[in-house]
Structure 1
Amino acid sequence: MNSFNLQRRKEKVVVVMGVTGTGKSRLSIDLATQFPAEIVNSDKMQVYKGLDVVTNKVTEEEQCGVPHHLLGVVDHDAEFTATDFRHRASRSIESIVERDRLPIVVGGSNSYIQALVDDFEFRSKYECCFLWVDVSLPVLHSFVSNRVDRMVEAGLVDEVRRMFELDADYSRGIRRAIGVPEMDRYFRFETSADKEIRARLLEAAIDEIKANTWKLACCQLKKIHRLQNLWNWSLHHLDATDVFLKRGKEADEAWEKLVARPSTVIVEEFLYNGGTISAGVTAAAITAAVMGTAMAALTH
């Protein structure tokens, strides 16, 4: 009986990692439309209700009908720790597995992911496939700045204004989110300052949001490298840099070639063939192998 327990089959979980802005949510939804899957959010700000623009939550339309767990479910003033996440995420994953579906954990909060994956009880039940969506830092830097501008155009200022309080505590709950404390000085003087000063205060706030978002991305990348090197996590590296250098249809084609298609192959192997693809094999090599197989089939 002990031998049987040691060798019993573990359930499968896919984990999508990467720094802010690299396309993690997009990939998770792509995979969830290819496999019978549901998504578990592991972004520590997106677990909170509200501030959908600031926290960059996927919209209902973007979700493509895929069920999402731990997305906008925690009261905005509540404390939600890595331990809280581990408990809630474990319950969600267990529920997904019981319905014969694949859990896909996705988010940039690597401390949450580590708390879940390094838990002994979790490791005794589940086997993980880690997908790391990466973009070179110089390319990502420009994208992050532009994304903040798009968030401002989408209503970031009004969204944060509705939550502004003079005695707000920016160390708790959703008010820790980048985009909230940076706007404090602007709102304090918004009604008393003249137009020129207001414009300068707003510009300074937006610049600070961009700088802090970039700092977050760098910290997230360092944590991923630590998980890979010190904790010996086997991560499948997917370089999406070329996607971010293109626009429109060309960008979509690059995403399919460099990220979506290789990820699908990796997950298929993980689910059905025992995960035989090594984490050291690049997405380009996987794509070449897939294309080679397809061409061989056409010529025979």
Structure 2
Amino acid sequence: MTEDRSPIITVVGATATGKSDLALDLADRLGGEIINTDSMQFYRGMDIGTAKLPVDERRGIPHHLIDILDVTEEANVQDFQARARAAIADIRERGLRPILVGGSGLYVRAAVDHMEFPGTDPGVRARLEAEVATDRWALHQKLRELDPQAAEKITVNDQRRIARALEVIKLTGRPFSAQLPDYQEIEPTIHLGLNMDRAILHERIATRVDRMWDHGWVDEVTRLLEVGLAEGKTASRAIGYAQIQRHLTGELTAAEAKDDTTIRTRQFARRQDTWFRRDPRICWIDGSAADAEQNLATALDVLAAF
């Protein structure tokens, strides 16, 4: 079979904007396979709360890099980069089109852009994580002094990224922000972004959280706790999963956990939008009408003009 050299396609944007549906429609129309770039969908068993598409709804289209980690394992962008590029090559070799979809901006860039990631020192990382947990404000201020650009992009509540940024600075002697170079792709790529009126998106998020609760999200977390969720540095902190754990220990009522999940998901959506808006390559599609056929038609027009 002839190797397909058509541009890679990425489908990005905030949570709940309809990325998965558009990616499926494109894969159907163009003969593609999907590569997941949502870091929380890497985890086995984290299905309901990550809006992971059930196998019987994937239309027979292969999905790569879903269910690749146990909840006790830590997601690693360097490892993901190697896996994603191997998946791209595999799809190409079979004459098909790689379509990347997800809202984890750094993982998208790691897959398609020229980016190198410094290694890690477990001892340094553990010390910094402990310090951040004790006084995140002081560590965020330290980051601001060492790398103002990184501090502007990393919120004081994002303890994991504060620790990682300080670790990289210590290990490399260079600003963490220097690890995000200009947008230079490994090969031609078309970037499609779905956006949505904020009020509509907020309502979609609230509705989706309600539906996830009704579909057994609390039971899912209960099962995952039995296989080590609480010990997972990445998985245990996922939005919704963290709130449900606090509910199960009696710290929050069910209503409080659900409300906090909705609020934090909306905040996360704003951060995603801010990240992707910085990328001048993205062609934006207004998905406010939630019209899958129109979204596909617009996307195909963009591809035709590339």
Report the TM-score range of the alignment, normalised by the length of the smaller protein: 0.7 to 0.9
Measure, in 1, the Cα distance between the counterparts of 2:42 and 2:184: 23
- Is 1:266 the counterpart of 2:302? The answer is yes
Match of 1:255 in 2: 292
Distance 1:125 1:208, change over 3 A: closer
Contact 1:170/1:176, CA 8 A, preserved across alignment = no
- 1:240 pairs with one of 283, 287, 290: 287
Measure, in 2, the Cα distance between the counterparts of 1:161 and 1:101: 39
- 2:95 pairs with one of 91, 94, 100: 100
1:264 alignment partner AA: L
Distance 1:222 1:125, change over 3 A: closer
Higher relative contact order (CA 8 A, sep 6+): 2
Distance 1:265 1:224, change over 3 A: same
How far the C-alpha of 1:11 sits from its partner, in A, is: 5.1
Measure, in 2, the Cα distance between the counterparts of 1:203 and 1:142: 17
Contact 1:16/1:132, CA 8 A, preserved across alignment = yes
Measure, in 2, the Cα distance between the counterparts of 1:112 and 1:104: 14
- Is 1:52 the counterpart of 2:47? The answer is yes
- Is 1:217 the counterpart of 2:269? The answer is yes
Q: How does 1:54-69 map to 2 (within 5 A)?
A: 54-69=49-64
Q: How many residues align?
A: 237
How far the C-alpha of 1:171 sits from its partner, in A, is: 6.3
* TM-score, length-scaled by structure 1: 0.73
Measure, in 1, the Cα distance between the counterparts of 2:242 and 2:115: 37
- Is 1:111 the counterpart of 2:106? The answer is yes
Match of 1:249 in 2: none
Measure, in 1, the Cα distance between the counterparts of 2:108 and 2:186: 16
Q: How does 1:1-300 map to 2 (within 5 A)?
A: 12-119=7-114, 125-164=186-225, 169=230, 172-189=233-250, 201-228=253-280, 234-243=281-290, 254-257=291-294, 259-267=295-303, 269=304, 275=306
SS in 2 for 1:45: helix
Contact 1:131/1:238, CA 8 A, preserved across alignment = yes
Match of 1:297 in 2: none
Measure, in 1, the Cα distance between the counterparts of 2:238 and 2:204: 19
SS in 2 for 1:46: helix
Measure, in 2, the Cα distance between the counterparts of 1:169 and 1:130: 36
Measure, in 1, the Cα distance between the counterparts of 2:293 and 2:100: 20
Once the two structures are superposed, residues 234-261 of structure 1 have per-residue CA deviations (whole angstroms, 9 ceiling, x without a partner) of: 2111101122xxxxxxxxxx3312x111
Distance 1:86 1:77, change over 3 A: same
SS in 1 for 2:279: helix
Unaligned runs of 5+ in 1: 1-8, 191-199, 229-233, 244-253, 276-300
1:265 alignment partner AA: D
How far the C-alpha of 1:170 sits from its partner, in A, is: 6.6
Structure 1 stretches of 4+ with a deviation exceeding 6 A read none
Contact 2:113/2:186, CA 8 A, preserved across alignment = no
Distance 1:222 1:148, change over 3 A: same
Q: Give the superposed CA RMSD.
A: 2.4
2:11 alignment partner AA: V
How far the C-alpha of 1:181 sits from its partner, in A, is: 1.1
Once the two structures are superposed, residues 249-288 of structure 1 have per-residue CA deviations (whole angstroms, 9 ceiling, x without a partner) of: xxxxx3312x111212323x26xxxx2xxxxxxxxxxxxx
SS in 1 for 2:207: helix
SS in 2 for 1:55: coil
